[in-house]
Amino acid sequence: MISLAESAGNVLAAPPDAKVLRRCTTFRRAIGQSMPQPGSGSRGPDSDVVVRGVIERDGRVSNTLVQSSERPDLNAEALGLIGQWTFLPAMCNGDPNPTEASFVVHFHGR
């Protein structure tokens, strides 16, 4: 720690050239509306593909990429499914707000 013996004014105040960003005083998370799932298989273990993306202001998912995958051969199918998903977008002060999110696509018996 450093002692501020010669400070003038409030040391916790923002600097004079600081920019105040818009604050979100009321927030609602994105809510899934349509999220098609992969078909079930009859053999094999269950596996998951985790995808990162952005839920846009219009509720569609963009900028997707596979974050982790137990079965790389299912990655393209997972990305295709998530591209069809729609959400009520997150809201900040009553306005739609893009939000980063992680999505898990569960493949049963595949």
pTM value is: 0.77
**Residue 66 counted as domain residue:** yes
Q: Look over the chain and give the mean of its residue pLDDT values, rounded to a whole number.
A: 91
What's the pLDDT tens digit per position in 36-89?
Answer: 999 988 888 999 999 999 999 999 999 999 999 999 999 999 999 999 999 999
Residue 79 lies inside a defined structural domain of this protein: yes
H-run or E-run covering 82:
helix 75-82
d(CA 5, CA 9): 12
Domain assignment of residue 54, yes or no: yes
Each as own residue / partner, the long-range contacts of residues 63-71 (CB below 8 Å, 24 or more positions apart, any chain) are 67/102, 71/47, 71/107, 71/110
SS3 18: coil
* Residues spanned by the domain of 100: 28-36+46-107
CATH number, residue 86: 3.30.2420.10
Is there a domain that residue 99 lies in? yes
Domain contains 78: yes
| Number of domains comprising the chain | 1
Does residue 7 lie within any of the structural domains?
no
pLDDT(7) > 90: no
pLDDT for residue 23: 85
